Structure 1
């Protein structure tokens, strides 16, 4: 597996680390439990980590030297794709298949797949054209460079794994992905970490939260695409509708800022709207601690403008907490509308406020939804996701072998991959 711009070892909710990091770690573990040995390649950032780290039995993280050994912004990563690929091709081990995550890794995957003569499976996680269609006001659109890069990966991958049927349709309609090469595999949830535990009261006691508070929780990176501004405006509307809720309203925000120029924007908006007193900023936390926050909350709010799946929604439901989410991307798959949570069409803060007010005044409904949420989440395990992923791997290998038999040479009868990303890579691609 390849992850160029973020390490599977990074804390989700910080920088560029999020659901994709969780996805890679949990899928790799589940694959290893079913007999698939996995090496996860990422870029060495000079953080003092060893070159090879055991993540779980059968799963290793390997750090490649590509570019400066320090953290770099994601915008600088395209120029490191070829150096990363060259370092990857120097590996002595022999692999059956390469699985890339996100478009930058897909570019490296194209080169590795051709160089090693093995199939490429790609999971996009997010798509530039989808993100650009749902930008927040003032947010920066994804560049044409990324869109071109995604089209290259979609065209070259032996198989594309989409999280939902909607994502598969976006790959086909926006990027021209071939339907026979596009498979839907739903992500799962780690049911060993995320579960009801000892219940809400015990979780609040451990976190030092008021027992009688109404607690809508936000968990994730603080960036415009995730809609934290929608939540802040919804809280202001809620207190305008029901000012009596203020003494017992607490809105924890568990996560870190992501992207440039946005630090403190959520806090400034809360101060402008007069709701800073009910918001509680909390840093990102490890998965076991995050499970406690889910259990402590009355509802998880996921107002994303775009979301390939929304793993936080599934994790919260596994802990017995209903979810109030935007009806975008994979969230209608993750949340059973009206049963394990509620979906909102659009991003009108007033509509979110109305739903929050209803949840605040119907505690028994929250309990019923929470019980349904646990049952819903238990049907989505990483074990099932891994089994389906193995099927995709085997299909990709069978198709590659079939082509090799027909043309009598290697895996591909096409020329080497076109130069990815920028003119600076032309000479390096020729070396490959």
Structure 2
């Protein structure tokens, strides 16, 4: 048996979005959290990390130290302000910049999303390092569950993901569901796919004083508070929460005096086409007086949002995992979510929250009321939510990734020895 390969330096590729950006708007979301949290923990384990991302704003410094041991490199590849749909035309330029900036080489390359994955293939060849890839979302899966108004993923992405399924040394997925999708839809090899669930920052996202959180946010202490946190786009379906809110008020008009529905996030994806669409919907539904829109936030400020809420809605049409669901539960807030992608793993149905099969307004109103308006059930789910979230940590994720890198590197060494 060969000794486990030693991993001292990791190149992390995230072409279209940077771990330095605020999650919850534009292209920044769960992937940003994933890259930032795992990179910090790699460094804490003595592993040097360089994150390569495209320079998407003018005057960005070429190199930024995110934390000691983690360097973010802004690689020029096309005009800074470039539409995401035009990014595939800049992959080769980005890949060249990555390879040139990383001339000292790395023990492993971890690419995130298909754009960075294509550059990762070039880096793998140049540095003779194993390539580990995480898709985060898959085009074929998204196209099978499109929301109204959402554009299908292009053929170039489908072909790029198929290429990665063949070329990457390891494909890391969040759940066994995603593993089956890779094997079935992309013909990935069973031994190539590793399931490593993402985590939650259990030091930041903790139960706290709900009344104090509400006071901090300017909410009445006795309010009924359902919340949505995330990017504002059809895929994430924040409109489902607004329609359910309107249904609850139609059923019980007196609830209007106490209801405050929070929507925390910014426009993203096709949501950028009509950034005020959700606000207009609130007006059309006659609930603008009870809906409060807040800008995206992270860390302690985001934890206070979760603590202030009675229930967090995650009504996505497609979701590879659902970090928002984990964060909310870690704060002791039950979740109502659609039973898609990784959400049946992130949420314990009937225990830490409720999973719904579709987006029928009446069902969502029932689910939200069943948690927010039932103090006894909510308290039980709150305690269970904390226990459920505690099963997931970034430390466990990082340990799994380091083992995956080492295994891929060892396989690479073995392959080279056999052909020499």
Distance in 2, matches of 1:135 and 1:287, equals 31
Shift of residue 50, structure 1, vs aligned partner: 2.1
Q: 2:238 corresponds to which residue? A: 228
Q: 1:205 corresponds to which residue? A: 215
Q: 2:289 corresponds to which residue? A: 277
Of 270, 287, 290, which aligns to 2:299?
A: 287
Q: Deviations over 1:214-233 (max 9, x none)?
A: 00010000001101121121
2:133 aligned counterpart, secondary structure: strand
Of 326, 330, 340, which aligns to 1:314?
A: 326
Q: 1:148 corresponds to which residue? A: 159
Task: Say yes or no: does 1:338 pair with 2:360.
Answer: no
Q: 2:16 corresponds to which residue? A: 5
Of 387, 392, 404, which aligns to 2:416?
A: 404
Distance in 2, matches of 1:30 and 1:338, equals 33
Distance in 1, matches of 2:203 and 2:413, equals 38
- TM-score, normalization by structure 2: 0.94
Conservation of the 8 A alpha-carbon contact between 1:242 and 1:357 = no
Distance in 1, matches of 2:279 and 2:373, equals 27
Q: 2:366 corresponds to which residue? A: 354
Distance in 2, matches of 1:369 and 1:93, equals 51
Q: 1:41 corresponds to which residue? A: 52
Of 15, 22, 25, which aligns to 1:14?
A: 25
1:218 aligned counterpart, secondary structure: strand
Distance in 2, matches of 1:179 and 1:35, equals 31
Task: Say yes or no: does 1:364 pair with 2:376.
Answer: yes
2:50 aligned counterpart, secondary structure: strand
Of 67, 70, 82, which aligns to 2:78?
A: 67
Shift of residue 243, structure 1, vs aligned partner: 2.0
Superposed structure 1 runs of 4+ greater than 3 Å apart: 46-49
Q: 1:181 corresponds to which residue? A: 192
Q: 1:250 corresponds to which residue? A: 260
1:27 aligned counterpart, secondary structure: helix
Of 167, 171, 180, which aligns to 1:169?
A: 180
Q: 1:107 corresponds to which residue? A: 118
Shift of residue 256, structure 1, vs aligned partner: 0.1
Number of aligned positions between the proteins: 406
Of 81, 88, 98, which aligns to 1:88?
A: 98
2:273 aligned counterpart, secondary structure: coil
Distance in 1, matches of 2:92 and 2:372, equals 53
Q: Deviations over 1:125-174 (max 9, x none)?
A: 00011111111123211111110111111110000000111111111111
Conservation of the 8 A alpha-carbon contact between 1:5 and 1:43 = yes
Conservation of the 8 A alpha-carbon contact between 2:311 and 2:372 = no
Distance in 1, matches of 2:311 and 2:33, equals 21
Task: Say yes or no: does 1:265 pair with 2:284.
Answer: no
2:364 aligned counterpart, secondary structure: helix
Shift of residue 47, structure 1, vs aligned partner: 4.3
Conservation of the 8 A alpha-carbon contact between 1:193 and 1:291 = yes
Of the structure 1 ranges 205-214 and 85-94, higher mean CA displacement relative to structure 2 is found in: 85-94
Of the structure 1 ranges 153-162 and 284-293, higher mean CA displacement relative to structure 2 is found in: 284-293
Of 317, 328, 353, which aligns to 2:340?
A: 328
Of the structure 1 ranges 7-16 and 354-363, higher mean CA displacement relative to structure 2 is found in: 354-363
Conservation of the 8 A alpha-carbon contact between 2:175 and 2:345 = yes
Distance in 2, matches of 1:191 and 1:8, equals 19
Distance in 2, matches of 1:158 and 1:292, equals 40
Q: Deviations over 1:342-399 (max 9, x none)?
A: 1111111110001112223311211121111111111211001100111111111111
Distance in 1, matches of 2:148 and 2:87, equals 26
2:153 aligned counterpart, secondary structure: coil
Distance in 1, matches of 2:68 and 2:361, equals 46
Conservation of the 8 A alpha-carbon contact between 2:236 and 2:318 = yes
Shift of residue 57, structure 1, vs aligned partner: 2.3
Conservation of the 8 A alpha-carbon contact between 1:124 and 1:162 = yes
1:301 aligned counterpart, secondary structure: strand
Distance in 2, matches of 1:357 and 1:297, equals 13
- TM-score, normalization by structure 1: 0.92
1:90 aligned counterpart, secondary structure: helix
